[in-house]
Structure 1
Amino acid sequence: MPRYDFRCRECGSTFEVSRPMADANDPARCPCGHDDTVKLLNTVAVGGRSGAEPAPAGGGCCGGACGCGG
């Protein structure tokens, strides 16, 4: 189940809520009982490559592998 981070505007605490994606935008109550909370934006960085092949050189949307030169 996805986890969402929230911050309480009243006391400043941050907390995590596990809930279905369908309920992602529902309000969350602070563990201290406050209702004035805001959902925080989380960024997830996923990296790494499998295999020994090096990453393509160049730039653009595909690292230059498509020949678009961009």
Structure 2
Amino acid sequence: MPRYEFRCRACDDTFEISRPMAESADPASCPRGHDDTVRLLSTVAVGTTASPPSGGGCCGGGCCG
């Protein structure tokens, strides 16, 4: 289930809520009971295990001397 990050405008607390995507736009109350919250845009870091191309330095090895 996706996690959504919110920030409370009243106490400036940041918190996360797990909920279905169909409920992603629903309002959320902060853990301290305030209702004035905004959903934050989160960035997702995706790592890869791709190795750099082989064959030499810049431009495939032909431009460096």
Range into which the TM-score falls when normalised by the shorter chain: 0.7 to 0.9
| TM-score w.r.t. length of structure 1 | 0.69
For these two proteins, the number of residue pairs brought into alignment is 56
Structure 2 unmatched runs, 5+ = 60-65
Q: CA deviation at 1:45?
A: 1.8
Q: Which has the higher contact order (CA 8 A, sep 6+)?
A: 2
Q: Whose helix proportion is higher, 1 or 2?
A: 2
Q: Which runs of 4+ in 1 moved over 4 A?
A: none
SS of equivalent to 1:49: coil
Alignment of 1:10-21 (within 5 A): 10-21=10-21
Structure 1 unmatched runs, 5+ = 59-70
Which structure has the bigger radius of gyration?
2
What RMSD, in angstroms, separates the aligned Cα atoms of the two structures? 2.2
| TM-score w.r.t. length of structure 2 | 0.74
